[in-house]
Amino acid sequence: MKIALPTNSGFIEEHFGDSEYFSIYEIDENNNAIEEETIATVRGCGCTPEILEILFNIGVKTVLVNKITSNETSELSHYGIDVIRGFSGEVSDAVNEWKENSRK
């Protein structure tokens, strides 16, 4: 399973649409996270149709965010990508928090 996080300098971007990059992690069958890649957003905005298509095409199933608009959530949903709100801080900490919560 692949997850994506809107990031800037190793931290979760406060708002999805302001992200400059997405950190993409693949979670294996043992719930290990492997940093796969970092993708630059188009025009420095995480909400463009181009970046949504890229996330979809590389197999992202879930996006971990701090804040996101209902329109952006709807767009991600259109691509079959789930949104989980409330993540902030360092990217690695957010991934570990998500992994812990997904085991419950």
Q: Is pLDDT at 104 greater than 60 in this prediction?
A: no
3-state secondary structure of 69: coil
Q: Is pLDDT at 102 greater than 80 in this prediction?
A: no
**What does the DSSP 8-state code read for residue 45?**
B
Looking at residue 88, its amino acid is S
Over residues 4-61, the pLDDT tens digits come to 999 988 899 999 988 889 999 999 888 888 878 999 887 666 677 888 899 999 999 9
Q: Is pLDDT at 65 greater than 90 in this prediction?
A: yes
19: tokens are 């992200």
Greatest Cα-to-Cα distance within the chain, rounded to the nearest angstrom = 38
Give dist(CA 91, CA 28) in Å, integer.
Answer: 18
pLDDT at 103: 62
Domains and CATH numbers, the chain: 2-103 (3.30.420.130)
pTM for this structure? 0.90
What are the CB-based long-range contacts (under 8 Å, 24+) for 55-58?
55/4, 55/22, 55/79, 55/81, 56/80, 56/81, 58/2, 58/24
Give dist(CA 85, CA 37) in Å, integer.
Answer: 22
